[in-house]
Chain A
Amino acid sequence: MDSDEEIMYDDYDDSGNESSGDDDVEFAMVEEPNNPKDRQELDEYPYEVLTTEQILQHMNECMKEVNIVVEMPSTVIRMLLNHFRWDKEKLMERYYDGDPEKLFTEAHVASPFAKAAVPAKVAKKDQRRAGPSVEECEICLSTLPSSVMSGLECGHRFCVSCWAEYLTTKIMSEGIGQTISCAAHNCEILIDDATVMKLVPDAKVRLKYQHLITNSFVECNRLLRWCPSPDCSSVLRVQHVESRPVTCRCGHTFCFACGNNWHEPVRCTLLRKWIKKCDDDSETSNWIAANTKECPKCKATIEKDGGCNHMVCKNSHCKTEFCWVCLGPWEPHGTSWYNCNRYDEDEARAARDAQERSRAALQRYLFYCNRYMNHMQSLRLEHKHYATVKEKMEEMQQHNMSWIEVQFLKKAVDILCQCRQTLMYTYVFAYYLKKNNQSVIFEDNQRDLETATEKLSEYLERDITQENLVDIKQKVQDKYRYCDSRRRVLAEHVYEGYDKEWWEYND
C-alpha cells in the first residue's frame, strides 16, 4: 500500500515540475507573510497557490499529457480521467491492458472510435432526411424538423430547446456537472463538455458548469485542495500529501491533509474525532446519564433539585412515589430513608457505578474542553491585538524610535498566536492520551508553555511608556524567544513520540 502511494507521488512529482517558471515566483510570494515555519524550516514542504485559471490550465495540461499518448478528443479524456479520479497511470494501464471499448462502457463514455461507424449512421439519417425529415422529440413530444434535433453517439435524439432545459436543470438546480447522462431513460452515456457548451445558450449556466467541472477536478485530485476560508477561490497544490501547514494567498493557514486550521501537535485523525465529539450530542447524553435518573415506573427523566430523597413523579399520569437512592417504592422506607441500604443489591450498585463512570467521563471531557475553548477564545482576542499593536508601533515611531526597533511587538503577537494555537490543540491531544511516563513529560512541557504564554500575553497588555520602554522591550523579547523555543520543544517531543510509539490512546 505504502509503496503504491509513493509511486503515485513520484508520478505527480513529474507533473508538478512541468509548470515551474513563474510558479516559483508565486511560491516565494506566498512564503513571505507571517508563516508558521516550524517544521518547514527543518525540511521543506513545497506547495504552491493556484488561481482558478491556473487550475484550468493545470487540468488541460493533465489532459494533454494523456492525449499525447492516446489520441482521443480531450473531452473524452477528461471524462475518463474523472472516472479514474485523475490517476492517469491507471487510465493508461486500463486502456492498454484490456478492451478499450469495455473501458468506455464502464466509464459510461460514448466511444470516440464508434465515430468510424458514424458515416453509415449519417448516411441512414440522410436517407431519412430525404424522406419526411421530421422527428419526434420524446421530451416535449413535438414533431420537429431533424435540423433542430441533436444527440450523442447513443442515438437518443431530442430537440435543442429540450436539451437546453434538461442540462440547465441538471447544472443549476441539481448541481451536477461531471456526471450528466443522456436524457433518455436508462441511458447512462455521459455528456461531454463540448456538447454541453454547444447546447446551453445561457452564459451563466455555462459558467456554473465550468465551476462544477473545476470543482470535481480539485476534489478528485489528492494533491489539490481548495482554500477552506470563505470567499477564497484559490487552490493549494502540493507534491505529496502530508499533514503540514500551508498558507494561502489570502493569509489563511491550514493543514493540507485535513483542511482544518493548522493543528500542531495533534494528528488529523484525533482532531477529527474531537471535533465530532464536540459537535454531536454524546456529551449531552453523558450529562443526562450522570445527573438524572429515570422514574422507575414511567421512565420520565428526573433531575433532583432538592435534598429530600422522597420523590414523587411529576408526570400527572404516574405520580409514583419512590426513593431517589435506591429507586425502590417509597412505602417500605417509612420515616427513615436510611432503610434503603437494604435494597443495595448488586444491580443497584452496578447502576450507581455506571453513573459514576459517566460522571467521571463527563468531568474529564469538560476539563479538556474548557481549556481548549479557552485558548480558542484567547486566540481570537489576540488576533484583535494586531490592530492595537499597530497603533502602538506607530505611536512609538513618533517617539523617536526607528521602524526596525518597533518590529519586536508584531513578532511577539505572531508568536503569542502560534503558542495559543498549539496550546489549544495540545488539549485535544491530551484528552485522548493515556497516562505514562512520556505523557507526564508532555504535560510538564504543556504547563511550562502555558505559563510562559500567559506571561507574554500579560506583558503585551501593559501600557508602554517612554520610561518603561527599554525594560518592556527586553522582557517581551526574552519572553517570546522563550515561548517560541518551548513551543518547538513541546511539538518535537510529541512528534518524537509518534515516531517511537510512546503514545497510548483512550477510546
Chain B
Amino acid sequence: MSTPARRRLMRDFKRLQEDPPAGVSGAPTDNNIMIWNAVIFGPHDTPFEDGTFKLTIEFTEEYPNKPPTVRFVSKMFHPNVYADGGICLDILQNRWSPTYDVSAILTSIQSLLSDPNPNSPANSMAAQLYKENRREYEKRVKACVEQSWMD
C-alpha cells in the first residue's frame, strides 16, 4: 500500500543512504516502514562522546505534515529528555515544518546532546546539575554512555 507518507519515507530512507550525515544512522524496521530504529553517536568533545544511543521513530499517515514521535530507547540523562525517553525539542512540536526529514530530525537531536536547554527541563535533576554542578552532571552522563554499550 502506497500513501504519500510512505512514499515520502521511502525517499527519506534513500536520501539517508545516499548522503549519510555524520554520527547518526537510521532505518525502517523490517516489516513496517512507519516505525524506524535509529542510532545517534555521542558528539565529540561532549560528555556523551563514545555513547551509542538507540531511538525509535514512529510516523503517522499525516507525515510530513505532522512530526513523528521520537523516543530514546537507551537510558538517557539529559535536561531535555523525559524519564520515558521522550524528547522535548521545539522542531518535534510547535516548530515542526514539513520540509524536515529523518536526517534533519536525527542531526537536530544530536546537536541537542551537545547544547542542552536547561531552561525548559524535561529532567529537572539533569537541568539543575547541568547548571550548578557540571562535574556531577558529566559523571551521570558518563554512566549512561557506558550503559549504552550494553544494550
Contacts and interface: CB of A to CB of B under 8 A. Distances in A.
Given A139-B98, A184-B97, A169 B4 contact: no
B66 A169 contact: yes
Interface string A257-286: 000000000000000000000000000000
Majority DSSP secondary structure for residues of A touching B: loop
B99 A184 contact: yes
A173 interface: yes
Contacts of B99: 138-139, 183-185
Contacts of B8: 139-141
Interface of B is mostly: loop
B12 A141 contact: yes
Interface in A121-153: 138-142
B15 A141 contact: yes
Contacts of B98: 139, 162, 166, 183
A183 B96 CA distance: 9
A173 B62 contact: yes
Count chain B CB atoms within 10 A of each CB in A139, A166, A170 and give the residue with the most.
Answer: A139
Contacts of A140: 4, 7-8, 11
Nearest to B99: A138
A137 to B, nearest CB: 9
A141 B11 contact: yes
A165 B97 contact: no
A166 B4 contact: no
Contacts of B66: 169, 173
B119 interface: no
Contacts of A173: 62, 66
Interface in B9-34: 11-12, 15
A170 B11 CA distance: 23
A236 B7 CA distance: 49
B125 interface: no
A150 to B, nearest CB: 14
Contacts of A139: 8, 64, 98-99
Interface of B: 4, 7-8, 11-12, 15, 62, 64-66, 91, 95, 97-101
27 contacts: A139-B8, A139-B98, A140-B7, A140-B8, A140-B11, A141-B8, A141-B11, A141-B12, A141-B15, A141-B101, A142-B11, A161-B4, A162-B98, A165-B65, A166-B65, A166-B98, A169-B65, A169-B66, A170-B65, A173-B62, A183-B98, A184-B97, A184-B99, A185-B95, A185-B97, A186-B97, A187-B97
